[in-house]
Structure 1
Amino acid sequence: MTSRPPSTENVAIENVETLSDNWYVLRKYTFRYRRRDGSEQRLSREAYDRGNGAAILLYNREKNSLILTRQFRLPAFVNGLDDGMLLEVPAGLLDDDDPASAIRREAEEETGFRVRDVIPVFTAYTSPGSVTEQLHFFAAEYADRDRVGAGGGHAGEGEDIEVIEVGFDEAMAMIERGEIVDLKTIALIYHAAIKGLLGNS
């Protein structure tokens, strides 16, 4: 996100206050907002800035399978998710890379698979009411020969990632049973079903 707050005809940022700059950055914005009826309101909202990210569906047509990761997620844990372990597609922040380069890096770090031909799928805001993050979604085919390492992430960054190969039909069933509850993962699995990347389509 740029350091200079944007303004438009209907929105004017008046003040920005940094509330926390620890793990990521939490800011409080005070702004004037012109409503649809022409009246103006002065509002305050907080936005969590963690940078933009990318996620990828790694799929194998021949085996009708995909690669997922399992790792502990504190926010999900404190919000009632049993042991806090989430099944997810590989994902991560862009840092200073372009989205395609970033997701190749993250896929290899997390899963050990080195992917080259990544296909952009769509770009979306995952929680626009409170988080600035824009997420770039990708898909790529993988083969067993593409695995160049064990994956697992960086222990020094607190990552402890289990790599799991799941059949597509089972992945769909796991969504139905509430065992896959991560939105980016659900979106990419449903994308694979709609586009016929996997399954019987």
Structure 2
Amino acid sequence: MTPGVDTPDRRGRTGLDRHGRDLTGNPRVVIRDVEVLSCDWYVLRRTTFDYRHSDGHWSRQQRETYDRGDGATILLYDTDRETVLLTRQFRLPAYVNGHPDGMLVETAAGLLDGDTPEEAVRREAAEETGYAVGAAERVFAVYMSPGSVTERLHFFAASYQDAGPTTATGGIAAEGEDITVLELPFREALAMTHTGEIADAKTIMLLQWAALNGPFGHIRP
């Protein structure tokens, strides 16, 4: 008996090996098998499939996919004062892969966890920065690491007012979060993407969007 397959895993899930077996959108891909390698919290699967190449021949391939659910992120900005609201927190994967201290500067973000993207991003902004978010502008939705991670990240932007946070900041202590809120001049934040002080992809994408097509398109770095 395998947890997550025919017996519940610690999140009560079964049938995790059935995900992706019924895909028919691409006639060049035939799914042959899906195995669950790990489901301690998120799900690591190995999928075996046949793939028809451009020259017509078929090959059998295997790929591992990491399924942590979809997420959402938001750039909070104040056009009057030309500032943005970012966070700094420790990221172990970055730390073990060469980041000097693992403390990344980022836009507020989190997993959907059953909410709509806009509901989730409003929740995460309040939890991580303490600022309530009103109407949020949808920017785009992209796959951040499509070679191995299934997550699609929904990007938003919204203004905030210089009235201080409405709730306690710092993230959720029970989840191990220890978050510092940073209010930065937009020009400074954008410059940090060039110096490497901001090395988080979603944050760089939103700051560049803000400079090219968003609320700070009139500002020269």
Q: Shared topology, TM-score over 0.5?
A: yes
CA distance in 2, matches of 1:61, 1:78: 37
Residues 196 and 13 from structure 1, CA distance in 2 versus in 1: closer, same or farther, beyond 3 angstroms? closer
Q: Deviations over 1:106-136 (max 9, x none)?
A: 0000000100110000010000001000000
Partners of 2:20 and 2:34 within 8 A in 1: no
2:131 counterpart letter in structure 1? F
Name structure 2 gaps, 5 residues minimum: 1-15
Match of 2:63 in 1: 45
Match of 1:3 in 2: 19
Structure with more relative contact order (C-alpha pairs < 8 Å, separation 6 or more) = 1
Q: Aligned to 1:115, what secondary structure does the other structure show? A: coil
Name structure 1 gaps, 5 residues minimum: none
Task: Give the C-alpha shift of residue 52 in structure 1.
Answer: 0.2
Q: Aligned to 2:163, what secondary structure does the other structure show? A: helix
TM-score, normalised to structure 1, is: 0.96
Q: Aligned to 2:154, what secondary structure does the other structure show? A: strand
User: Please, what is the CA RMSD of the aligned residues?
Assistant: 1.5
1:162 counterpart letter in structure 2? T
2:73 counterpart letter in structure 1? A
Q: Deviations over 1:67-124 (max 9, x none)?
A: 1100010110010101101000000000110000010000000000100110000010
Map residues 101-120 of structure 1 onto 2, 5 A cutoff: 101-120=119-138
Map residues 59-78 of structure 1 onto 2, 5 A cutoff: 59-78=77-96
CA distance in 2, matches of 1:70, 1:22: 27
Match of 1:155 in 2: 173
| Runs of 4+ that moved beyond 6 A | none
Q: Deviations over 1:123-169 (max 9, x none)?
A: 10000001000000000000023620232111111111111101001
Q: How many residues align?
A: 201
Partners of 1:115 and 1:146 within 8 A in 2: no
